[in-house]
Structure 1
Amino acid sequence: MMNEQENNIQDENVDNLDQASTENVDDQVSDQTVEDQLKLELANAQDKYARLFAEFDNYKKRTSKERVELIQSASKDVLNKLLPVLDDLDRALTAMQTAQEIDSVKQGIDLVNQKFRKTLAQEGLKEMEDIIGNPFDPEFQEAITAIPAPSEEWKNKVIDVVEKGYFLNEKVVRFAKVVIGQ
C-alpha cells in the first residue's frame, strides 16, 4: 500500500512538475510577447516623435521664410508707391537747372513735397503735431538739451523742436527731438 501511495505521490509530483513547466513556458511566451509588444510600441512612439519633430522643424522654416517674404513684399509695395514722387523730384531738379523764375521752382518743389507727404500718410505715417508749449513727454519725445525757461510757465515744457517725430499706425517710429525749459 505504501508503494501505491508513493507511486501516487510521484505521479502527483510529475504532474505538478509538468504543470509548472507548462506554466513557466506560458509565462515565458507571454513575457516575450509583452516585451515584444512594448518594444514595438516604443519603436512606434519614437517614429511618431521623429516625424512630429521633423514636421515642426519644417513648419518653423516655412513660416520663417514666409515672414521674410512678407517683409520684403511690404517694403516693395511702399517703394512702388514712392517711385512717382522720385520721378517728380527728378523732373523738379532738372527744371531748376534751366528755370528763370524762382517762383515756379518753389511751386514745383511744394507740389512734390505735398505728394510725398500724402503718399506717406496713405501708408499710415503721421507727424507729431502741436508739441511746442506742451509738457515734455518721454514716451513720444527725446530731450536733446535743456535751456533756462523764459518764464515759470515754460518749465518742463517743450520750447523748440529740432527734429519732428512720427507715428506709424499709432506707434512711434521716430521720437521728436526737442529742447525743454528748466
Structure 2
Amino acid sequence: MSDDETTRVTAEREHAESDDNTETDPDTEIEEAERDHGTAANASTRSGLAASDTDHTDGSPAPNAERLQSELEAANERIAELESALASERERADDLEDRLAEKRAEVDRYVERKEAEFEERKAAATAELVADLLANVWGPLDRALDAEDPETLREGVDLTREEFRRVLAERGVEVLDPEPGAPLDRERHTVVRSVPHDEYEPGRVVDVERPGFRIDGAVEREARVFVAEE
C-alpha cells in the first residue's frame, strides 16, 4: 500500500470514529426528555400558583366566597321567616288576651248579677217570713198572753210554738229540740253534762239547754242537752 492510500484509510477511520462519538444514546435521550418535562411541569405549577396568588391579592373573591354568600342569604331568609312567625304568635297572644279579658268581664258581670238576684231573693224571703211570723205567731202569742186563765195562757203559748215550727218547716228549717227521755243523737246533740236521774235510762236526754236547727237537712247548730248519767 502506498503512502497516499495509507493516509486516506487513516483519515476515513478517524472520520467514522468521530461520527460514532456524536451519536446520541437512546436511554440518554429519554432521561433528558423526562427531565425537560419535569422542568416544564414545575414551571407550569409555579406559574399557576403565582396566578392564584395574584387572584387573591388583587381583590377578586376567593373560591368559597359564593358558598358563604349563599349561606348568608339563606340565614337571612330563615331569620325573616322566624320574625314573621314571632309577629304572628304575638298577634295571636294579644287576641287571646283580649278574649280572656272579655270572658273575665262576662264572669264578673255574671257574679254581680247573681249576687244581686240572691240579695233580692233573700230580701223577699225575709219579708215573707216576717209577714208569716207576725200573722201566725206574733198575733196568737199576744192573745195567749192576754188570757187571764193560766191554763188558757199555757195552751195559747203551746199553740203559738207549734205554729212557729210550722212556719220554719215550710222554709226548710227543722228545730232540734228533743223531748225529755229521747235517745241521744251525736250528730244532732251536744252533751253539756251528765246528771243523775232515776226516771230515764243512762244516755237519754233529760233537758235541753239550747235548741239547735237544721236547714235543708244540714245541721247548722247542734242542740245542747243534759243526759242521764250511767
Scaled by the length of structure 1, what TM-score is found? 0.67
Which structure exhibits the higher relative contact order, with contacts defined as CA atoms closer than 8 Å and separated by 6 or more residues? 1
Query: What is the distance in 2 between the residues matched to 1:139 and 1:95?
Result: 37
**Alignment match of 1:51 (pick from 98, 117, 140):** 98
Q: Secondary structure at the match of 2:91?
A: helix
Scaled by the length of structure 2, what TM-score is found? 0.56
Match status 1:86 vs 2:148: no
One-letter amino acid of the structure 1 residue matched with residue 108 of structure 2: K
**Alignment match of 2:176 (pick from 128, 150, 154):** 128
Query: What is the distance in 1 between the residues matched to 2:160 and 2:143?
Result: 13
Higher alpha-carbon deviation: 59-68 or 73-82? 59-68
* 2:219 alignment counterpart: 172
**Alignment match of 2:84 (pick from 21, 36, 39):** 36
Query: What is the distance in 1 between the residues matched to 2:79 and 2:127?
Result: 72
**Alignment match of 1:150 (pick from 186, 198, 209):** 198
Q: Secondary structure at the match of 1:154?
A: coil
Query: What is the distance in 1 between the residues matched to 2:142 and 2:195?
Result: 43
Deviation at 1:155, TM superposition (A): 2.4
Q: Is the 8 A contact 1:161 1:176 kept in 2?
A: yes
**Alignment match of 2:165 (pick from 86, 98, 117):** 117
Change (3 A) 1:69 1:107: farther
Q: Is the 8 A contact 2:144 2:153 kept in 1?
A: yes
Deviation at 1:27, TM superposition (A): 1.6
Structure 2: 5+ residue stretches without partners:
1-43, 56-60
* 1:77 alignment counterpart: 124
Query: What is the distance in 2 between the residues matched to 1:31 and 1:101?
Result: 102
Query: What is the distance in 1 between the residues matched to 2:100 and 2:155?
Result: 63
Match status 1:61 vs 2:108: yes
Cα deviations by residue, 1:153-175 (Å, 9 ceiling, x for unpaired) = 73233221233332221111221
Change (3 A) 1:30 1:44: same
Change (3 A) 1:32 1:53: same
Query: What is the distance in 2 between the residues matched to 1:111 and 1:157?
Result: 27
Structure 1: 5+ residue stretches without partners:
none
Match status 1:27 vs 2:75: yes
Query: What is the distance in 2 between the residues matched to 1:135 and 1:145?
Result: 15
Deviation at 1:52, TM superposition (A): 5.0
Identical counterparts, % of pairs: 19
Change (3 A) 1:157 1:62: farther
